[in-house]
Structure 1
């Protein structure tokens, strides 16, 4: 998983239960400006299919599981998110697709900035072209 970065979160717990703390500029390596979550997904319907020019994100599967296809324009890696104790870093210029959501899946995403449609690359060919232009 050369370009894929998984963050393992420290878990605190005892007989009362478990706790994971997520902190801006701490175990989340950026300031968190937006949080959203995906749940109650339609069976067999994938999500994502985009990249960002500058946005950084951390995806955490709070419940259930899903698969995230990470693509840097050269290499593709499938990552299974199935634990609230690990986060997947989605860096700028990384195409990502989410699928195989379990019925109970809750996928939370922490983002480094507010929503900005102009930061999205929604066409895969445009993404690959942008990656190739970055390499020259």
Structure 2
């Protein structure tokens, strides 16, 4: 597996159509480097709770803060980086083999996830020590 590094992970601007009646942002075929196979969203996350705490062997994910804000802690097995998502026209593309934790959810926040794969438990690495072994770190 190629060694994905967190310094190569950045926010992507989602095209935004501005209109006096309200803005519209669109993620269409070709915007992401994969076909979207699953869409899910996180909401009503209690204060102080966190989500994530895993890595994927194959799947890639694109995270968008549709409402509110939250922090994504990224870890490639050697380095860590924190990214705040707080705009519905900006998203974070997380490649394969990156550990992620989501925390500091603001009240009313909604995190939309566009995934490259359907849910498959065998694709998840849920233990950090196993992740480090997987990465060879």
TM-score range, shorter chain: over 0.9
TM-score, normalised with respect to structure 1: 0.93
Q: Which runs of 5+ in 1 are unaligned?
A: none
Q: Is the 8 A contact 1:3 1:72 kept in 2?
A: no
Q: Which runs of 5+ in 2 are unaligned?
A: 1-5
Q: Which runs of 4+ in 1 moved over 3 A?
A: none
Counterpart CA distance in 2 for 1:32 and 1:84 is: 18
The alignment's C-alpha RMSD in Å is 1.1
**How many residue pairs are counted as aligned between the two chains?**
132
Q: Is the 8 A contact 2:15 2:27 kept in 1?
A: no
TM-score, normalised with respect to structure 2: 0.93
1:62 corresponds in structure 2 to 66
1:98 corresponds in structure 2 to 102
Q: Is the 8 A contact 1:37 1:106 kept in 2?
A: yes
1:11 corresponds in structure 2 to 16
Counterpart CA distance in 2 for 1:3 and 1:124 is: 21
